[in-house]
Amino acid sequence: MAAAAGLASSAKETLPPALGSTSQPPPVFDGTTSLYICYFCPFAQRAWVTRNFKGLQDKIKLVAIDLQDKPAWYKEKVYPQGTVPSLEHNNEIVGESLDLIKYIDSNFDGPALLPGDAAKRQVADELIAYANAFTKALYSPLISHAEVSDEVVAALDKLEVALSKFNDGPFFLGQISLVDIAYVTILERVQIYYSHLRSYEITKGRPNLEKFIEEMNKIDAYTQTKNDPLFLLDLAKNHLKIA
Ligand SMILES: N[C@@H](CCC(=O)N[C@@H](CS)C(=O)NCC(=O)O)C(=O)O
């Protein structure tokens, strides 16, 4: 599926500064393909990793938004929902990270990140569709300051089982795909939050999940988008009020 290009080591990109309410707004709808992100957002990170993995750094320009000082033009002129990520492409805006990563995969060059095989594709669609429910299951007890729930354990166990389905590689479909990208940015955060706030190691007793995270951490397209763990923890404590 995904050719070696995405796995190749690449030079670290110089990232543009995040634009706030007083920054000079960028030109919009001028034909530039722009990916609007926030550097700390797990949903935006999915689109960013997909772009990187497909080697689209020169074709899709990153525009970083400062969500703590959100510029009005973003909602008014670019994406009425006001959330990141969104992609400006061919004078249209595509949002919602799980739709957007599929859009990037099918509308741009680079290694394919969804399988051609129909059976694998169905598994991919099901797992991608479950990513929002997974995120909710994992974040809920943190936001409501509750203990590790049965739902958390079941959601993590579900991923552990899903990771055993194809044995031609450590990723959800064996080889790397959009499924991995959909989950890794969420796993990156919940691994930190549960370890620090619940003394619960999400990979303990889940060797497939442990191996998956280890393998993702070897992929530059992903590691270049990661943040300092303690910074992410502080941000979530302050903004999502997790505890
Ligand atoms: N379901 C959306 C969620 C996107 C989302 O909630 N992004 C957050 C940042 S992590 C956002 O833009 N929030 C708006 C704000 O903070 O003003 C997706 O997957 O794209």
190-202 pLDDT, tens digit each: 999 999 999 999 9
Binding site membership of 87 for ligand 1 (Cβ less than 6 Å):
no
Q: Which residue has the tokens 């505890």?
A: 243
Residue having the nearest C-alpha atom to atom 11 of ligand 1: 83
Which of 19, 36, 40, 43 best tests ligand 1's pocket when mutated (most atoms within 8 Å of CB)?
43
β-partners of residue 174 are: 171
> Which of the listed CATH numbers 3.40.50.720, 3.40.30.10, 1.20.1290.10, 1.20.140.10 matches domain 4-107?
3.40.30.10
Residues 6+ apart with CB under 8 A from 90: 33
Residue 70 alpha carbon to ligand 1 centre in Å? 12
State the pTM of this model: 0.96
21-59 pLDDT, tens digit each: 999 999 999 999 999 999 999 999 999 999 999 999 999
| Domains of the chain by residue range | 4-107, 118-240
Tokens (6 digits) for 5: 């290009």
